[in-house]
Structure 1
Amino acid sequence: MDLDFVCVHAGRPASGLTRRDVARALLAVPSGVALVALPDLRRALMAAGNPLSPPFWESAKATLGAIESGVATVGDVQRWMESTGTEPLLLTRGFFVWPEEDERGPVGREMFARLVAYLEERVTAGEIDPDALARGDEAARERYTGIQESWLSSPLPDGRVPVDAVSEEQDEELVAAWDEEEAFALSELRRILAELPAPERPVRELRAAAARLREVLTRPGYPGNVLRACAGYEGEPLPADDEELWLSVTAGIAGPISDLPEENDRLEVFSDLDHELSHEDAVLAALCAIHHADWLAAVAALARRGPGVLASPERIARLIAESEDIDVDLDEPEDLEAAETLFSSVTPLWACLGIVDRTEVLTPLGRWGLPKALERAWSHSSDG
């Protein structure tokens, strides 16, 4: 490692290198190599007329030494990078977090580069003191934090607010990834169902289950409020058709459409971070936490085995782990326990719909309707 390496790594001539440029280059090689190269690199930069400062070199030696001895934490290294004066804070006071470097989209990369350039201007103007940051001066750190917070929340000349622009791009990426995962799960579900004989529609069971469901949905509290939220039926008339009603509610369990109504007392609970979630909120949170792959593995396994198979949370977790249709990583006991816990919120709702009986055994109605409902839940984005 030498000065040429640093210049190439930073994409700048030696005279224009910043503390951040040098720090990033030092971290790009093994710490032992960087420590050995440090004295020569310092001399070379002095000869190039860009000596940086003694506090920077001292902090570099201390940080690289801690890395080499195995006592430096990720946070220690990040804070050292930030003490260069031009490294954006990983976490701001407003809880904004930059995406990892290899996970930033075009907007994220642009805004990050803009902030680095802005911080370089502030260092040149004397508004940021990297030497004070390197010495751990808390007042300097506070000013450094405030400068970044202000820039992130202020409109650029084109009107974009950096923190909003980056967050919106992340949201779009998450939605795109979710849609892609859902489309794949839907195609796999349809492939699996095409290999199985179509079950007969259980007319009497469906009629009876729909009648019970209509009663449940009119009652206050659990489970009616959760099932209404799952299907998005708050304040709307229920479908007259039994099959439409039953399938929409069953599909909503795999993909809840709305949250519980926001009432004043519930808002007060959410504002209290130490307060535990209500049972209904915990159930909805569990439903939303189940991955597409887990739903696919569970429903496919139940469809293959047919009525009479045990569909308890414990059994469903095992069926997912042993899935013939999709590779789900549930190798560790804690993974199985987590899946069992999530599906503990599902099976009581299935019982309300007649999908499982009182002993948590799959019914003919469940075998007929579960695959249809899952396909319905995943078809809204791909089929329009």
Structure 2
Amino acid sequence: MGKKNPYDFTIIITVAILVTTGIIMVFSSSFSHAMVVLGDGYYFLKRVLMWTGVGLSAMIFCAKIEYWKWAKYAPTLLLGSIILLVLVLTPVGKEINGAQRWIYVGISIMPSEIAKFAAIIFVATTLNNKRERIQTFAYGVAPYLLLAGMFFGLIYQQPDFSTAFVVVVIIVAMVFVGGMKLSHFIGLTAAGVAGLASMIAYIFISGKGYKAKRITAFLDPWADPTDSGFQAVQSLLALGSGGLFGRGLGRSVQKHFYLPEPQNDFIFAIIGEELGYIGAVAIILLFMVLIWRGIRIAINAPDLLSCLMATGIVTMIIVQVIINIAVATSSMPVTGMPLPFISFGGNALAILMASMGILLNISKHTNMNRS
């Protein structure tokens, strides 16, 4: 496969900073909640440290495996992820806060996170093997639409619309980079936007269920600040009270039972409150650096397989970052989406770091300026 280069140091250092920031902010944002509810203020810190160790091991392991060897296991990964997505909807699945997204086998397994990884490997492998047929809709594009629809349907039933949406975007982005006709892409994008708009309109007009309340709260969170708009209002208060330099690390007010689960989906609001505008912008810049390096690796990748894998990994990060920050800033309706490498979530962290390992392995075979 040609001369090997060093691992991309920029990715290594950026991921290290993001993960370290995540450990600090998870501890800072969760201590009060963990102390009162669980009787152990260090509960989330101990768990995030454990999962960081798992993630680091996964990243090193994946960095040492040549990226093309994953193609051999693509069908197994896909089948395994589908089986887990089905099982989580049965009594085997564990329900928390009205969502059935986990399977407990000594540790909690989140099948939807595994599905992202499996989708990236499978789509990259099959597109690489059928590159000459991707120009046709029936044989090149339609099978991936069916795959995306299957993933969406299974994950949406948990219910987890945001993760289902991310998987679909990953698959479509990879198929586009793999050689889909521009006319097909434009048509699918238009159909997807129309379908999403219709679904949102139906939910809003019907006015039924928590989804309708979230859309109403997005339009005017202050209309019902103690119920449907509570999370959005508290997140905005946290961001606004942080000012330019923040209240100081550990001095957040909103984490004290005002903002629900501050160590998870709304951790960006706590970052804005404690570290201020400068801290929040610094986090965004770190993600921009990571995405930039990922895109450069995809562009300069040695072959189509590695290009598609890098595309899927970078797309996964881009979409999750945009959704999380958009929710925290009330730029879109509230939906559960962790901030990559920073929010508390063991499965998500392990999968992300494993994906970074694959990206690092690809970088060894990529010729580009590493300055």
Same fold by TM-score, threshold 0.5 exceeded?
no
What TM-score comes out, normalization by structure 1 length?
0.24
- Structure ID, larger Rg: 1
Q: Structure with the greater relative contact order (CA < 8 A, sep ≥ 6): 1 or 2?
A: 2
User: Which of the two has greater helix per residue?
Assistant: 2
What TM-score comes out, normalization by structure 2 length?
0.25
